[in-house]
Structure 1
Amino acid sequence: MTETLIPVFDGHNDTLLRHVMNEGTSKQVSFFEENKTGHIDLPRARRGGFTGGLFAMFTPSKYDDTSGVPFDPNDPANFAPIDQPGALIFTNSMFAKAQRLERESKGEIVIARSISEARTAMTAGKLVMIMHIEGAEAIDANFDALEVLYAAGLRSIGPVWSRKNIFADGVPMAFPSSPDTGTGLTDTGCELIRNCNGMGVMIDLSHITEKGFWDVAKISTKPLVASHSNAHALCPSARNLTDKQLDAIRESKGLAGINYHVAFLREDGAHNVDTSLEVLVRHTAYLVEKLGEDGVALGSDYDGCLVPSDLKDVAGLPKLMESFRSAGFGNQLIRKIASENWLSVLERTGI
Structure 2
Amino acid sequence: MQEQNIQASRDVKFLNCEEIRGAGADLTTQELLDATDAAWRDIRSGKSFGGKSVLSLPEEAFWEVESVAPFKSQFKNERLGWKLSCLYSVNDQFGGVKIIGANAFNRNLGFPRSTSTVLLLEKRTLRLVTVMEGTAMSARRTGTYATTVLDMFTNPRDKLSVFLFGSGPIARSVIECLDFRFADRIEEIVVRGRSREGLEALMADIAGCTTIPVIPASDTTRLPFCRFVITATNARTPLFDDCALHRRAISLHLGGDEVPETYLQRALRSGLVVCDDVATVSRRNSQSIALHFSRRGLSLEQVGPLIGVAELSSSGDLHVEQEGPTCVTCVGLPMLDLYVAQATYKKYRAYNDHMLATRT
Alignment TM class, shorter chain as reference: 0.3 to 0.5
Larger Rg: 2
**Normalising by structure 2, what TM-score?**
0.32
**Normalising by structure 1, what TM-score?**
0.32
